[in-house]
Structures are given as C-alpha cells and as structure tokens.
Structure 1
C-alpha cells in the first residue's frame, strides 16, 4: 500500500511540474496571469466568498491547485486556420497531392475540421484570466457600491496590482469602511386613504426597523412586501412602481431617517394623465369556460350552468361536474381581489392534469357605476381524454448483468366527470443473472423475468366520510389515490408473487412542505419456490457443508450425496432440523457451529415465509429547492410506519387462536407487526463556478413486536450500491462487522452519511470527490449474532467508510454518472487491519448511475 501511494504521489507531482510550465503558454510578455485576489477590510484579510463574488475577475478555476481547464484551453492552436495553411504549404506539392488524392473541396473541409476541433477545445477549456486594469477599477467601484448598499456610505476603496515571476500577478483590494449608518425614524407619505389604512394595519411586519444597520436589500424587500399586501387586499391596479423611499442622512450623526412614499394611481384622462386615489376592488362575477380553444373563441356558448355563484360555460356539452371545477377555483364572487387567489387557481388547475395551463383575465364590470367591481374570466383548455405512454430501458446492476425493461400505460382523464384520473399500466423485464436460481433457466441468457400491472384512481379531494376543509383546505391541493398492483418474479431469489393495495392522501400546505398519509398500505408476498433456497443462497449452503464435513460432526448418510455434500432441499433441511431440535441423528457440533446453523435456519425461515403487511404511514417532506437547476437547497424527510396493529386488534376481538409459536395467522400467514421510522436530510451548497458541496444523513430503524420477531425482507434496510456507500455493492455491506457473508445482506437498522464535492472539469464533463460512511445492524429482533447486532454505542466502530472519485456527464435533461469507490475503513476485517487494507483499484467498486446520488 505504501509503495502504491508513493507511486501515485510521484505521478501527481510530475504532472503538476509539467503543466505548471504550460499555464502561461498563452500569456503575452506584457500581460499578467491572475493568480489570486485578496481583499483587505480595515487592514484585515477578508475571507467572505459573497464579497469576493463582487469582483469582475477571478483566477482560473483549479482542482487540487491545478487549473486543469486552462491547460486544456492551451492545447488548442491560437490560429488554427493559419496553422493548417502553414502545414499545407510546408512541403512542396503537398497541397496539390492532397487535392489529387481527394479533392480541393475535401481538403478545405479537412482544414475546417481542424479549426472546429481547436475551437471545441477552447470552448471546453477556460481562457487565461489576464489582469485587466479597467476591470480592476470596475471591481473597486463595485466593492464600494456593495459596502454603500450595506450601510457604509463613506467607504473608501483602492487596489494594487502586484507582478510576480513567470508572467503572473496578484491584485490586492483595500476597503476602509468608516462608521456605518443606522436606520432611525420611519415616516410615511401616503395620500390614498385606502393604501394608508392598509399600511398601518401591517406596519408591525415591516422589514425596515429602527436601530438596525441600513441595507438596500431590506428596502427592496419592503417594497415587495407592501406590494403583496396591497394586491392581496383588493387593490387591483397597484404596482410596485408606486412605492419609493427617501433616506435623509444630512447632519444626522450616521442615522438614516426614512420616508415611505406611496403615490396615487396614474390614469389617462383624454390626452393628459392624472393621479387618483386607489380603491378596493371586489369580484362581481366569475365566468369559467371549460373547453376554450383558439379555434372556438368566437363560437357561441351552447351549454351553461350556475353553481355556488359561478357561471360555467361550454362550447359543447358540459363534460364536468360543476363542483369539480369550482373546487379548483379560489377566486370567489363577492370577495375582494387577491393575487394569491389567482396564483392558487393556476396551481390547482395545473395539478389536476385535466387542463392545460389556464388563462385568467380581469375586466371592469360594465354594470358597476363605482368602477370597483371586476369580472374574472377563466379560460380552461382540456387535455386529451386518453393518453398512451410507453417505456423501454436497458439496465445493469450487481444482481443483473444485463436487463431489458418495457412497459406501457393508459391515462383516462375526468373518468367520472369530477376531474378524476384513472391509470392502467403494465411492465415487464427480462434479464441475465449469474445469481438466478439453478436449473434449466441457468443455461439461458435471459434467465430472470418480472411481469406486473397496476391500476390507480386519483380524486382531487380528500375522500373521507367527513369534511376535511377546516384542517386541509383546498388551497393545499389535496388528492386521494387508490391503487392496486400485482407482480410476479421468476428465477431470481425464490420466485415471488406480490399483491399490494394503497389508499393514499397527499397535500401541500406550502411551496416547500408536502405531506402524505397512506391510510392503508397492504402487501401480500408469496414465495413460490422455497425448495430452491439453497440453490439461490449458496453461501449459506457452503457454510452448512463446511460444518457437515468437519471430522467431529456425525449426521445421517441419507442427508448426503455421493460427494458428501448435503442434498438440496431434503438433506440440508433435515440437517438443520436435527441441530435446532437436538435430534441425536446429528451430533458433534461445537457451540459456534450450532449457532451458525441456528443463524442459517432463522434467515431461511424469514426469507421463505410468506408476508402479509397491513400498514399505515405518514411522510413529512420539506424541500426548498426552487427548480431543476437550483444547486443551493436543503431537503428533509421524516417517515413513520406502523404495521399489524389493526389486524392484532381484530384477531384479539375475534378470539382467534394462536399457533405453536404464539402468533396469530390470517389466511394462513403470520402477519407482520412493527414500527418503522426514517429520517433523511440533504443539503447542497453552491460555491459558484459549478462547485457544489453536498451532504446527506440518513437514519432508520424498524422494530418488530407483538405478532412478529423480525422485519419482512421487503421492509428491511440494506447498505452499499451506487446511491449509498459506493465502496460496496448493494447488499454486500454489513450487518455490523459480519462481513456481508450472505448474498443479500439486510437488517432492521441503518445509518448512512455522505459528503461529495462536485466540480467542473471540461464543458459538460464534471467530476466529484466523495466520502461515504454507514452500515446496517440488527436490533431488538430474532438475530443473535453479536457481529451483526447493535447493542451499544460502541458498535458505531463498525461504521464502514468508503471514499472515491467520479465522473458525471451532463446531458441537461439527465446526468450519466460513473463512480469508483475504495474501501477506506472495512469493519469486516480485524481491528488492526481495517484502515486502507484494500484501498486499491483491484478491490474498487465501480458504479454506473443516472443523475446524482443525492
């Protein structure tokens, strides 16, 4: 390991020495390459990135101190056209000979290709940042403006350019702030009585407060706040331009005396303009056109209905129940105008997936002599009633070497005329896996398969027998979904059939918060090929045979084949039965061997038993990511799930008898009973220039009780894989320090922590350096293996650590990701050998994924 690190260090140093000479390749003799900017504020060196962002010039982006993109840019020829012509003319008759072999046109295309390649290299790289005196002066002025806008009105700024060796230079910026100005008195000048009363009513929420340092951004935010207040309290014609501020600082002893000015509305009266006071406007009518299109805009309305004060029109036969339309509209007849009502109507109508983005127009009511009434016209354009979708993908994983997936879906909108959506979908896949069950399928390339189908009905309301409007109002966009799904897996694991049904409610109290309740989440899993268990889980089978072949162990010869190995399934199952029940046919096992057989028996029983999960769960999500391109955000998710309590109550009330193990059976299945919680936090920091630092923390536990002493496989946790600890493949890590001895390692407790620094390499090619930590453990369940269980905080020493590097290519609509993870701290090894023992490319794990891991 030491020799490997020495070689890597030597190679890195050699590369750095080589490319450092190339950094100034395109820098002229009278130019200086910008090496560093330094800002001194009142004589002290500043480190705040937000202030350095004010500068017009920044040094070339670096990775580990090396400006890689600059060196890539320097690979391009500065004048490729003339360089090609020079090469073409370098040897006599070269141009004529090429013209004879190809043609003059092809030779010209060759020259253009050479130019395009060099231009592509320049575009992907980064030109050297040359110190520009004019831009430096602009940076000085911008610094002064920044400090002025933050209350230092008398700030002084200057700069110094410091030449260095090898045509490089640094720029030092100097700022003397002097005494900051503090907001003192706040007055108002508002001639409109309507605006004046609204201002007074919300004055206590003002962002501008006496005693705080002046900030221009506070005044801008206050202008936005006042505009929202006025426009959400009936002042339809109000605009931000009517608000201004006067800041008096003359002879005030560093105090800012502020006057808030809100001018009257400007209107045209003939050829002149005049100022008139603002008025409160209310909605007199709401007209809804349910099937508006550009083609029928001049056609007459043929169907209409009035409902709860709304006028609903259609150019053909009305296809929607009136309530389905009005429930999605927040603009109400008789109420004052509010901007938020219009925004909520936009959002709710779009979320229904029945209409395209609506158009809402307000016009003065011609029947109103006071000029305060507005007519709201809402134009809805329906989407196609039927939509078909098809999917096709190719996949690869540590379980499946090659797979092909396909699927299709049918969406029927407004199925019951109440804006309900009905979806039918089917999916299937075939793949090749070396982990597939042994047998005739093993010899086929496509030896695993899955088929499934789902139906889903969605209602645009909370579907309960009582009114939920008081605690889940309709502006929270409530939905109810009822789904039913079936699937069947063949030749992977034990072959399974899966049936699930979900009754789900979801709503969004705000832009950043969403909530979801699965009132019913029922899943039934049936294992079809349990006799094939030891053909699938070969590690367990090998461990049994090692015990059987120990000299001290005696067992029935009928359990063994000609090679002395346990016969599948009967021999292996009989051997386990003998050991766990103490049958004298099998003897001679050591305590450790007996414990190993018990562990194998427990795992086999758990993975081959059928599962009935009757659960309810609640998910709370906070996500302040504003859009797809927002790289500075946080996300927090909390989920709690309880299973089996309803069935336990029914079993007890019905007087059902327990089986020999003391458990209730429903339809011949021991139903699961547990409580499960998950906490997941993600944070991204945007450091500028495509430099992003991202972290994630996850913790989860599922505790069985009552009718169960373990967690179903499908509800347990696993570790490793492209979105977890990337130094281990999925299901290969843990539990604890046990070393991942099973094919699919899982447990009922998990901790995971990830940190990743992402940066740009060239053009759309990005890279990352990451550290992953975490593991899984068994806790408060049937597993007794000390290496796999979590009994105290001392077991945190078994947290595995992986580190590595990755490449990401950004296709705009998705990111293709390649990561190489190295085992940095391996808890499966002896304590003194855990650090960097297998830290090499031979033992690295390579992951391919779509989009970022978190």
Structure 2
C-alpha cells in the first residue's frame, strides 16, 4: 500500500507540474519565447500544387518552436527545473527524456529565412519573387509572419540537346527523346536534377564507366519570348575528360576464388567459359563458381550487372567479402572505346566452424527447460561452395506451473545432418539464366529425434528432406521440398498413455499413421528487410500435401483397413497456411504491428485425421499470449467440465483449423530496452466433430464468439537485432467458459511468456 501511494504521489507531482506551474517566471526579462511562424503566399495567378509548394517553403523556416502539449510546455518546464542547484534525480531523468532548451525571439534570423524562401521559389521557376517578415510580439511571447509575393512562373517551350562529341551525343539524344519533360512545364530545379540522374543511370548501363551526372549542365534561354517562357538546353560542362564521353567494354574477367593467399603466393590461372580463375590450387571449382558471375568479356560495362554478380556471390555462404574492382587498360583505349579489366576478389570464411547455443524453451502446457545445440559446419566441402552442418541437440523440459499431470517432464535428443549445395541438383539440366536474381540452393537433410515423456511413452522419429530454396527478387523467396519423408515409432507406451488413447479415438488415429511422405511449398513476400520503410508488408503461404504419390503404390489390407506402403500405414492429407503481417513505423522507433493467420488441414483417402505432429495448436509466446501453449481450444471445450477425463489433457489441445489475429504497439523505453502493448485473438477447431468433446470442438458460423482473447504488456531487450522478450498477458475472453461469463479481464493470474525474437 505504501508503494502504491508513493507512485500516486509521484504521478500527482508530475501532473501538477503540467497544470499548476507556469514557465513564464523562468523567461529572462530581455527575451520573448518564440512560438512559431506563419507563412502567407500571395500570387497574381493560380498556383498549381500550391499545397506542395507551401510544404517545401515551410521546410526552410527555422528554428522550430518548443513543443506544446495541450497548450503547455513540459519540455521547457523540465529544462528550467534542471537549472536549479539541486534538481533531484526525477527532474534529471525527466529532462533527459523530455527536456528542451528554450527557443527565444533572439534565436530567429528572419532575414536568412527570407533568403531561403526566395531561393526555393526561384528553384521552382518563380523568379523575381519578394519576401518580407514581421514579428508579432506579446508580453513574453513572439511569433513571426512571413509573406511571399509569387509572380507567374516561367514555363518551358522546348527542350533541346546542344552539340556534343560522338559517340555520347547519339546516346544522350535518344534519352532526351524519351524525357518526362513536357511543353509548358514550370521551371523546376529538382526535376532537372532528376533528369540528370536518369541520363547518367542510362549512360552507365551503356558502358560509360567514367561519366558522372555533374558533367551535365542545363541552360535556360528567355530571349525569344516576352511571356515568361524559355528554351531549355542540355550540354556538357567545359573540360570534361575525353574518357568520360566514350563507353567501356570488359576485356578480361579475372576471378580470385581464394584471395587471401592469391596476392602473396604464386598462382596459376585456369581459363573457363571466357573467364580467368586465378588461385594457387583449386579452392573453388570454376564450373561451379562460373554461374554466379554475370560479367562477360566483350560486354559493355554495366553497374547493375556488377551489383547482381556481387549479390549472387555473397549468397553462396562461403565468402565473407566480395570485392569487384575495375581497372582501365590505357594502352588499348581508342577514341571511341575504352577497355576494362574486371577483377573479382573473393575472401573465404573459415572452412570449419563450431557453434554452441544454449536455449531456454517454453514448449507445452506449463513446460519449460534448457536446451543445448552443438553445431559443426564445414564450408566448401567438395570445392563447389557446399555447406555441411551437423547438429546435436539435448533438451530437458519439466512442468513448472499449473496442475501436475502425467508426463510432467521429458528428455529430448536429436541429431541432424544437412548439406546445402549452392546450385540446382536435378536430373535434367536447368539453364541458370532462368534464375537471374539468384541461383537456387539444393538442401538435403536427414535427422533423427528421441523423445522420452516420463510415465507416458517414448517416441523415436526420423526425417529426410530434399528441396530447393531461392530468391526471386529482393522481397520474394520460394521454398519447395518435393521429397519430405518422416517416420515415427511410438514405443514403451505406459498403461496411463494407453488409457489416454482409448478415451480419444481421434488422438489414437493421429498417432497410428507413422509414415508421412509428401511435398511442401512456401511462398514468402517480405518487406520487413527494408527497416527504413514506413509501411512494411509480409506474406507467407505454405502448402503441405502428403500421401498422394505414395498412394499409387499403396497396398490394401485384407480386412479393408487403411493402405500400407512397405508394411507401414501412411498418412494422406493436405494442409495450407496463410500468414499476413503489416508494420507501420512512425516516430522514433515506434511501430504498430498487425498479424492475421489462417490454416486448414484436410485428411482424406488413407487418413481419417491429420497426423498429430501436423495439427495446429494455440496459445503461447508466438500465438495467443494470454493462454499457455496448447491450452486454448479446441472450440469451447473445457477439460475441467469433463469429470470422466482423468488423464493428461495436453494431447487434446490440437485441431485441423486455426485462426488468429494479433495487434501490437512497440515503443522505445531507454537504451536497448523496448516496450509493447498488445492484444491477441484466436483459437483452433476441428472440421469433423470429435465425440470426446461433445461437439464443442467443431468449427461453425459462430466461430467469432469462440475466439480466445487477451491483452498485455511486454518488455524486450533488443541488442543489435538479438531480442529477448518478456510478455505479460491476461485473457479478457475465455471461450471455455459458459456464455455470459466469457468476458472477464482477470489480471490477477497473468501468464508470463519468455521467448527469443519478436512474435511477428
């Protein structure tokens, strides 16, 4: 109670500071507080896009006045309070967060602002404009009014190219013919700068290696007109070097696959596909490295091709630095053509690496525990940029909260071997030109996992994967696994677990189909990579289809039961997920993040139910954070109402339909500490009624009233994109409760979520 009263007193003090204390007594007698400026635009004709002109003019008006909130100056107040001899800890902290130094009338240089206003108007074609300023003074405050008289602007009649030396004249002439300039457009300096950049970019793509947009000069001639019209001429500045006006071709492409030793040890050059591969010994086989290099001998210099080559080489994963340098060959230059050597220096990463990762896992209903992952990596295994990884994982989990149940601890062991080829491995050769942005990677992995749930069962599972992943462009990624095989073997089932399965036929069937063979595909559109973008969008569509091809070889059992393949009952299903996200970034490190997820799994053919490992669950740090993992749903089911169910309910909390929506406001606190306020809603359902749940789990048109909803606050430690996250949440709509009692924001028993990384 004392602590609560202390916070009330502090809050009252702060609010009282805003409302009862005035800053007027702190302002020196010889000064007036500057309260801002007003811009008045007077014109003798209609100004097109006047609002945009006003915005540009207002950008040069300075200084900015002190910020106000509801007519008060909190930033100024804490500045003045901090000037005391003993300001106190709270005032120091508040000044650091909100304080502002006062801006006085004497800080305003109106004459300089007038000059800047006239400069901006002339850049926009409003020549012979006038600007004036007048201070409006009160007892302790002052503002300024700027008035600009804007005459009729100058407009373009023709756009012409002046005489230039060949061969650059012909190239620029073609570009001038496609200009965005139109007759009657207003004189605009910013548009001319954009035109220079457009021409420069196009010339660079045509081989003009030494050209620069600063060589171009615009001149406006008004002598022929009396009505504020002008002819615009484009020309080159004087003394532009001759080599800047000729294109360059690439004479030699020299590649150094192991550059760290190539510059100090005797090397040999291998000629392959019109390129020189220079290395002491074969570090990276030329036939595998060549497809990543888009530069070709005899082609014109093009910076876009150079950037594309650098990006493709960086994606191999074997190099820490990719450096492309061009060297002019002066001895072979002519009057109309220059020659370049393209030198590609590749500095490899360490061939072998070892990484240990300690994790804290929160994985099931009230379960948490440590996990240790040890990874050994070997790069460039076969001399073609291949990456081999082997990972050993050891994890232990125990139930640390909630009611104790059977299987309240588990031990997990896993071993995964993976090899990634930076190229397409396919029976039929695929032309690399089809993948212009990046070359697909072929991934092959085999893993085995052992899970021991105390007093319940032991699960031994193996997985084999063969697939491809590639970037179609900066934002789009494709991942397809045409071969995805997994096998699970349920062993050492205890009588208690057998009782769980006998009570729930759906659950039993989901464990019986041990063999899964199918295809998975993911399409990812990710704008979150552009951290400076205000509006960011993200889409992840995943399709998982199993059992179709293998059903062609399936063998029917004599008793009419499910088909088998090599003696194993196999699963047949289709599953599709859609994950949509939107981030709105504003202010200083402030973000509103939204997410919608929808998923549906359909069992058919050889299956009555989607396998347990492929079913959905809800709740937890990456889902509905007001509910523990797997504790929400399905539908309105409440295990506490089922008096006949005496077994572990952890397995019941899955379904083949999942819907979720999340909304979060993220903001900085201090240093690398970030805060969040969020709300989540969602649930899981079954498309076919499970008799164990008395129909409460079936998806229906009333699904909105069956959503689990919660809200909370979060603290994140964000150190260079490594995020440790704590989210505290409580439900305000619990679908497992009877109708009329579901809305209740119970903050007395919140759920604390611990996770690595942002939830979405």
TM norm structure 2: 0.81
Aligned mate of 1:57, from 64, 84, 97:
64
Distance in 1 separating the partners of 2:203 and 2:698: 61
**Judging changes above 3 Å, is the alpha-carbon distance between structure 1 residues 312 and 141 closer, same or farther for their aligned structure 2 residues?**
same
- Deviation at residue 76 of structure 1 after TM alignment: 8.1
Q: In the alignment, does 2:662 pair up with 1:754? A: yes
Q: Match for residue 372 of structure 2?
A: 406
Distance in 1 separating the partners of 2:51 and 2:8: 35
Q: Match for residue 394 of structure 2?
A: 428
Q: Name which of structure 1's ranges 783-792 and 425-434 shifts more when overlaid on structure 2.
A: 783-792
**Judging changes above 3 Å, is the alpha-carbon distance between structure 1 residues 252 and 715 closer, same or farther for their aligned structure 2 residues?**
farther
Q: Can you list the C-alpha shifts for 1:130-153, whole angstroms capped at 9, x where unaligned? A: 344446958898888888878888
Aligned mate of 2:252, from 272, 285, 305:
285
Q: Can you list the C-alpha shifts for 1:407-432, whole angstroms capped at 9, x where unaligned? A: 22221122111221211121112233
Q: Which runs of 5+ in 1 are unaligned?
A: 1-6, 85-113, 268-274, 535-568, 577-599
**Judging changes above 3 Å, is the alpha-carbon distance between structure 1 residues 437 and 848 closer, same or farther for their aligned structure 2 residues?**
closer
Q: Can you list the C-alpha shifts for 1:448-500, whole angstroms capped at 9, x where unaligned? A: 22111111111111111223226633542321111111111222674422211
SS of the residue 1:501 aligns to:
strand
Q: Name which of structure 1's ranges 254-263 and 170-179 shifts more when overlaid on structure 2.
A: 170-179
1:506–1:515 Cα contact (<8 Å) kept: yes
Q: Name which of structure 1's ranges 683-692 and 412-421 shifts more when overlaid on structure 2.
A: 683-692
Q: Match for residue 368 of structure 1?
A: 332
- Deviation at residue 645 of structure 1 after TM alignment: 1.2
Q: Match for residue 324 of structure 1?
A: 288
Q: In the alignment, does 2:411 pair up with 1:449? A: yes
1:736–1:776 Cα contact (<8 Å) kept: yes
Q: Can you list the C-alpha shifts for 1:193-227, whole angstroms capped at 9, x where unaligned? A: 44444345556875556677887665544443333
Distance in 1 separating the partners of 2:611 and 2:184: 60
Q: Name which of structure 1's ranges 22-31 and 170-179 shifts more when overlaid on structure 2.
A: 170-179
Alignment of 1:137-148 (within 5 A): none
SS of the residue 1:645 aligns to:
coil
Distance in 2 separating the partners of 1:641 and 1:158: 69
2:708–2:733 Cα contact (<8 Å) kept: yes
Distance in 2 separating the partners of 1:661 and 1:249: 94
Distance in 1 separating the partners of 2:211 and 2:52: 43
**Judging changes above 3 Å, is the alpha-carbon distance between structure 1 residues 689 and 747 closer, same or farther for their aligned structure 2 residues?**
same
Distance in 2 separating the partners of 1:67 and 1:499: 66
Q: Name which of structure 1's ranges 28-37 and 418-427 shifts more when overlaid on structure 2.
A: 28-37
**Judging changes above 3 Å, is the alpha-carbon distance between structure 1 residues 260 and 840 closer, same or farther for their aligned structure 2 residues?**
farther
- Deviation at residue 249 of structure 1 after TM alignment: 8.7
1:736–1:777 Cα contact (<8 Å) kept: yes
Q: Match for residue 240 of structure 2?
A: 266
- Deviation at residue 323 of structure 1 after TM alignment: 1.0
**Judging changes above 3 Å, is the alpha-carbon distance between structure 1 residues 419 and 762 closer, same or farther for their aligned structure 2 residues?**
closer
Aligned mate of 1:700, from 595, 599, 608:
599
- Deviation at residue 298 of structure 1 after TM alignment: 4.9
Distance in 2 separating the partners of 1:38 and 1:603: 72
Q: In the alignment, does 2:309 pair up with 1:345? A: yes
Q: Match for residue 666 of structure 1?
A: 565
Aligned mate of 1:234, from 207, 214, 219:
207
Q: In the alignment, does 2:97 pair up with 1:125? A: yes
Alignment of 1:128-277 (within 5 A): 128=100, 130-133=102-105, 134=107, 185-189=158-162, 191-199=164-172, 201=174, 206=179, 208=181, 218-246=191-219, 259-261=233-235, 266-267=240-241
Q: In the alignment, does 2:277 pair up with 1:312? A: yes
**Judging changes above 3 Å, is the alpha-carbon distance between structure 1 residues 686 and 186 closer, same or farther for their aligned structure 2 residues?**
farther
Q: Can you list the C-alpha shifts for 1:17-54, whole angstroms capped at 9, x where unaligned? A: 33524886798234788999999999xx9999998988
1:659–1:665 Cα contact (<8 Å) kept: no
Q: Match for residue 512 of structure 2?
A: 609
Distance in 1 separating the partners of 2:63 and 2:538: 33
- Cα RMSD over matched residues? 4.6
Aligned mate of 1:480, from 419, 439, 442:
442
Distance in 2 separating the partners of 1:466 and 1:172: 75
Q: Which runs of 5+ in 2 are unaligned?
A: 43-49, 641-648
Q: In the alignment, does 2:585 pair up with 1:621? A: no
SS of the residue 1:788 aligns to:
coil
- Deviation at residue 507 of structure 1 after TM alignment: 1.6
**Judging changes above 3 Å, is the alpha-carbon distance between structure 1 residues 341 and 74 closer, same or farther for their aligned structure 2 residues?**
same
**Judging changes above 3 Å, is the alpha-carbon distance between structure 1 residues 35 and 722 closer, same or farther for their aligned structure 2 residues?**
farther
TM norm structure 1: 0.73
SS of the residue 2:320 aligns to:
coil
Distance in 1 separating the partners of 2:152 and 2:120: 15
- Deviation at residue 310 of structure 1 after TM alignment: 1.3
Alignment of 1:562-711 (within 5 A): 569=498, 600-626=503-529, 632-651=535-554, 656-658=555-557, 660=559, 662-711=561-610
Aligned mate of 2:473, from 491, 499, 510:
510
Q: In the alignment, does 2:756 pair up with 1:850? A: yes
Q: Can you list the C-alpha shifts for 1:790-842, whole angstroms capped at 9, x where unaligned? A: 233x433333333333333433343333333232333334443433x2x1321
2:82–2:95 Cα contact (<8 Å) kept: no
Distance in 1 separating the partners of 2:364 and 2:720: 27
1:696–1:755 Cα contact (<8 Å) kept: yes
Distance in 2 separating the partners of 1:767 and 1:385: 40
- Deviation at residue 780 of structure 1 after TM alignment: 5.6
Distance in 1 separating the partners of 2:453 and 2:122: 71
2:636–2:706 Cα contact (<8 Å) kept: yes
Distance in 1 separating the partners of 2:289 and 2:208: 26
